[in-house]
Amino acid sequence: MKHIISLLMENEAGGLSRVAGLFSARGYNIESLTVAPTEDPTLSRMTLVTSGSDEVIEQIIKQLNKLVDVVKVLDLNEGRHIERELMLVKVKATGAYRDEMKSMADIFRGRIIDVADGTFTIELTGSSSKLDAFLETVDKTAILETVRTGSSGIGRGDRILKV
Amino acid sequence: MELTGAEIVIHCLAEEGVKFVFGYPGGAVLNIYDEIFKQDKFQHILVRHEQAAVHAADAYARATGQVGVALVTSGPGATNAVTGIATAYMDSIPLVVISGQVPTPAIGMDAFQEVDMVGITRPCVKHNFLVKDVRELATTIKKAFYIASSGRPGPVVVDIPKDVTAHLTTYEYPKSVHLRSYNPVVKGHSGQIKKALKLLLEAKRPMIYAGGGVVLGDAAGQLVKLARKLGYPVTNTLMGLGGYPASDKQFVGMLGMHGTYEANMSMQECDVLLAVGARFDDRVIGNPDHFTSTPRTIIHVDIDPSSISKRVKVDVPIVGNLVDVLTEMNKLLEEGGKPDANALKAWWSQIDGWRSKLCLDYITSDTVIKPQAVIQELWRATKGDAFVTSDVGQHQMWAAQYYGFDKPRRWLNSGGLGTMGVGLPYAMGAQFAFPDAQVACVTGEGSIQMNIQELSTCKQFELPIKIILLNNRYLGMVRQWQEFFYNNRYAESYVEALPDFVKLAEAYGHVGMKIEKPGDVEGAMKEAFGPGLKNRLVFMDFITDQSENVFPMIPNGKGLSEMILAEEL
C-alpha cells in the first residue's frame, strides 16, 4: 500500500543523502521525495512517498527515526491528511489543440502560465492521482514535456508535525 | 584561550578521558600528530595499517565498555579504516574515528589523498560529521562521543580538514550536549514489563535468549539474577557469550548455525521466549518462516526499536535500556509470582534429553591434532579466564563452542560483519586495556595473514599476546561449505605456499612454536602461558586435522531444528 511519510530533519549538509541512502541500502521503495527548509530555517521538511507491507512501513518509520539528524517522523496515512503535487505540462497548442487544451486546463482547475505560438504550459496542482488523470485524459501525442514535484503532504485539522 | 583545531582535538580527547588513540599519521593529520608529540594525556599506539587501528580501538571498547578512538589520515588512510568501522557498526561498538581531510578549499577538487569520507562511511556509521569550521570542532567531538556511547552504541566518524586543524578559536569544551533530534529511550514501558513477566510465569516451556546487547549494556548481572530466580534455560548468541556463565547448569550453550542441539531445539520448541539484546538474525534462527511455523509468544527487550519485529514478529516489545528493564523485572519478581514448577520440571527433562545427544563430542585422535582439543587445552591453561579474540571461520566457531566464557567482555570477535583479520588487532586492543591479563588470539592461517603486519606493533609495545593458530592449510569454513554443498569442489580454499610461521614470528622478534602432535599440545600451551614466556608474544602454529568440520550445523536457509550433527555423517 502507498504511504506518505512526512519528516522533519536538521537542515544540514548531507541530510537528503542520509535518507536516500537508507532507502537504497535497505531496498525500500521510493516513489517520490520532496524536501525544502521550513519556516524555521534550521529544519527541513521532507515528504516521502513509498509503498510496502505494514511490516516494511513499520521498519521504514523506525529506521528513519534512527537517523541521528531526523527530529520527527509521521506516517500521514495513519490519519486524515491532504496530499498535493505540482505539475507543469507543456502541450501542443496548435489548431484544434488550442481550444481543447484551454478547456482541459479549466476542467482540471489548472492555469496556463506560458503561452507561445505553438505551445501552452499548464500548471496543475492536486493529488498525484489527479495529475495522472489529466495526463491520461489529454491526447498523448500533444504532451511535449512534463515536470512534477512529487507529493507534499500535511495532516488535517490539528494534526501538526512541528518541533 | 585561543587554540588551534589540532590542539582542540587533543584537549577534547583528554576531557573525554581517552587513554589510548590507535592511529597512523599522514599529510592531512600532521597538525594533530604534532600536538600528540607535545602532550602526555593519552598514549598514541602506532599500528602498521589503519584497519588494525580501528579494530584495536574497537576491541578496547568491547573489553572495557569505554569509547574506542582511532585516528587516520585522509584518502587511503580513511578508506583503510572503513572495514574496521563497518565491523564495529555491525556489532554496535562505541567508537570515535577521527579522519583527516584535505583542506576545505581543496574539497571536491580531486586533491591528493582526497576521498569523501562522510559519503563513504554513511551506511556503516551511527553518525558522521565533516567539521568545516574550527568553532564547531569541540562541540562536534562532544557530540561524537555522546552519540557513539548512548542508546544503541556505534561508530561515529569525525572528518576534519587540514586547514581546520590549523585555524584558531576560543576553546571551551561543553559539559554536556543536547540534540533535539536524538533522544534514545532509556526506561522500558512498565505496563509492558508487567505483561512480560506475567507471560513468563505462565509459561510451560520458557526460554531466555540473550544476545550481545546484554554484554554491551552491562546487563549480565541482572540477567543472571532473573534467570536463576526463574530457573529457566538460557542460551547466548555468538555475540552474547559470557553474558550468562557457560559453566552454569541453566546454560544450554550457544544457539544458531553452529549452536548446540539443546539450545536450538529449546529455542524452536519453547512456548514463551524472552529475547534480550538479540536480533533474531539469519545466523541465529535460520529460516524465519520455519522458526515461526512453531507457535510461541515472544517478548523482546532491546534498546533499538528497529531491532524489534524486523525479522520475526514480536508479541510483547519492550524498548529500553536492558539493565533498567531487567532490574524492574527482578523487582516485580521479588514482589511475588512463581513459575509453574511441574511444567518446568517436564521441560528440563525434555531439554536434558536433547543434551544427552552430546552434540559437541568429537572423535579424538592421538595421531592428528583436533582443533577442538586445542581450544579445550587453551581453556585449561588459562583457567577459563582469558580474553579470547578470534578471527572468522571454523576456528571462531570452535573457540565459541569449546571455550566456556563465564564473564562478559572476554570474548571478542566479529559477529555481524564477519571480518577476517580482526583477531590480532582485537588482541592488541584487549591487551592495552588489561596489560596484566592473559590474552589469546584464536585464528586460522587464512585470517592471521590479513593483519599479520601487526606483529610489528606487538613487538614495539611488547604485548604478550598468545596466538593460537589452528592451521589446517584450508580456508576451513569455505572448505566445509564446499564439502557439504558443492560436492567437494574445493575452489580456491586450499592455501598453498604458507609461510613458516615460526620463522615469521621470530623475524618480528617474537617466540614461535610449531606443534604437530596431539601429545605436545598440553605442554606447548603450558609453556606459552607459563612464567618463562609471560612477557613474550608466543605464536603457536598448531597443525590440525584438515578434514575436521564444525558441528552441529544448520544449512543455509534451513530451520533451527534441521541441524546436521557429527554423528549423522
Would the pLDDT of A111 be above 90?
yes
Residue B378, CA distances (Å) to B70, B258, B301, B532 in order: 31, 20, 34, 17
Please say whether the beta carbons of B359 and B262 come within 8 A: yes
Please name which of B265, B308, B305, B264 lies closest in space to residue B284, comparing C-alpha atoms.
B264
Please say whether the beta carbons of B463 and B425 come within 8 A: no
Q: Which of B123, B306, B310 sits opposite A25 (nearest CB)?
A: B123
Would the pLDDT of B568 be above 80?
no
Residue A156, CA distances (Å) to A50, A51, A83 in order: 20, 21, 10
| pLDDT, position B186 | 82
* Cα gap B302→B307, rounded to integer Å: 7
- Judged by phi (left if over 0) then psi (alpha if -120 to 50, else beta), residue B526 lies in alpha
Would the pLDDT of A1 be above 90?
no
The string of DSSP letters for B150-203 reads: SSS--EEEEEEEHHHHH-EEE----S----TT-----SPPHHHHHHHHHHHHH-
Please name which of B533, B539, B482 lies closest in space to residue B514, comparing C-alpha atoms.
B539
The string of DSSP letters for B282-298 reads: HHHHS-HHHHHTS--EE
Please name which of B190, B167, B81, B166 lies closest in space to residue B125, comparing C-alpha atoms.
B81
Q: Which neighbouring-strand residues pair with A2?
A: A51
Please say whether the beta carbons of A149 and A34 come within 8 A: yes
Task: Compute φ and ψ for A10, nearest 5 degrees.
Answer: -55, 135
Structure ipTM over 0.90, yes or no = yes
| pLDDT, position B1 | 81
Summarised one tens digit per residue, pLDDT across range B301-337 is 999 999 999 999 999 999 999 999 999 999 999 998 9
Percent of chain B with pLDDT over 90: 98
Complete domains list, chain A, with CATH? 2-79 (3.30.70.260), 82-152 (3.30.70.1150)
In angstroms and rounded to an integer, the radius of gyration of the C-alpha atoms of chain A is: 18
Catalytic residue positions of B? 50, 112-113, 162, 477
Summarised one tens digit per residue, pLDDT across range B212-258 is 999 999 999 999 999 999 999 999 999 999 999 999 999 999 999 99
Nearest CA in chain B to A11: B181
User: What cell does B118 get?
Assistant: 562522510
Identify the band that residue B569 occupies on the pLDDT scale cut at 50, 70 and 90.
low
Contact list in B for residue A65 (CB cut-off 8 A) is 305-306
Q: Which neighbouring-strand residues pair with A122?
A: A89, A112
Would the pLDDT of B567 be above 90?
no
| pLDDT, position B563 | 94
Residue range A51-64: mean pLDDT, rounded: 96
Percent of chain B with pLDDT over 70: 100
Residue B364, CA distances (Å) to B261, B360, B370, B377, B471 in order: 20, 12, 7, 13, 17
User: What cell does A48 get?
Assistant: 516521502
Summarised one tens digit per residue, pLDDT across range B84-121 is 999 999 999 999 999 999 999 999 999 999 999 999 99
* Cα gap B371→B78, rounded to integer Å: 37
- 3-state DSSP call for residue B268? helix
Residue B517, CA distances (Å) to A127, B27, B372, B374 in order: 77, 50, 14, 11
B residues 302-321 closer than 8 Å to A (CB): 304-306, 309-310, 313
* Cα gap B411→B394, rounded to integer Å: 16
Summarised one tens digit per residue, pLDDT across range B528-539 is 999 999 999 999
Q: What is the pTM of this model?
A: 0.96
Identify the band that residue B496 occupies on the pLDDT scale cut at 50, 70 and 90.
confident
Q: Which of B127, B130, B313 sits opposite A68 (nearest CB)?
A: B127
Question: What do you get for the CA distance between the two ends of chain B, in Å?
Answer: 73
Please say whether the beta carbons of B201 and B175 come within 8 A: no
Q: Is the peptide bond before B499 cis (omega within 30 degrees of 0)?
A: no
* Cα gap A48→A75, rounded to integer Å: 10
Residue range B429-453: mean pLDDT, rounded: 98
Please name which of A69, A22, A64 lies closest in space to residue B129, comparing C-alpha atoms.
A69
* Cα gap A5→B483, rounded to integer Å: 48
Residue range A68-96: mean pLDDT, rounded: 96
Beta strand residue intervals within chain A, DSSP E: 2-10, 32-37, 43-51, 70-75, 81-92, 111-115, 119-126, 143-148, 152-155
User: What cell does B370 get?
Assistant: 583436533
Beta strand residue intervals within B386-488, DSSP E: 387-390, 411-412, 439-444, 466-471
Nearest CA in chain A to B312: A55
The string of DSSP letters for B95-139 reads: EEEEEEE--GGGTTTT-TT---HHHHHGGGSSEEEE--SGGGHHH
**What strands, in cross-sheet order, belong to the sheet with B251-254?**
B251-254, B234-236, B206-210, B272-276, B297-302, B316-319
Task: Judge whether B180 is closer than 8 Å to chain A, CB to CB.
Answer: yes
Residue B497, CA distances (Å) to B165, B420, B491, B494 in order: 46, 19, 16, 10
| pLDDT, position B353 | 98
Q: In B270-403, where does DSSP find H-type helix?
A: 282-285, 288-292, 322-334, 341-355, 371-381, 394-402
Residue range B426-444: mean pLDDT, rounded: 98
User: Taking CB atoms and an 8 Å limit, are B122 and A21 in contact across chains?
Assistant: yes
Residues with Cβ within 8 Å of residue B84, at least 6 apart in sequence: B50, B51, B52, B53, B54, B55, B57, B58, B70, B97
Contact list in A for residue B123 (CB cut-off 8 A) is 21, 25
Residue range B58-73: mean pLDDT, rounded: 98
- Count the helices and strands in chain A (H runs, E runs): 4, 9
Q: How far is A55 from chain B (nearest CA, A)?
A: 8
Residue range B183-201: mean pLDDT, rounded: 94
Q: Which of B122, B130, B306 sits opposite A59 (nearest CB)?
A: B306
Task: Tell me what the pLDDT averaged over chain B comes to.
Answer: 97
* Cα gap B85→B102, rounded to integer Å: 20
* Cα gap B435→B433, rounded to integer Å: 6
* Cα gap B375→B372, rounded to integer Å: 5
User: Taking CB atoms and an 8 Å limit, are A163 and B180 in contact across chains?
Assistant: yes
Contact list in A for residue B118 (CB cut-off 8 A) is 14
Residues with Cβ within 8 Å of residue B178, at least 6 apart in sequence: none
Q: Which helix (H) or strand (E) holds B524?
A: helix B521-529
Would the pLDDT of B426 be above 80?
yes
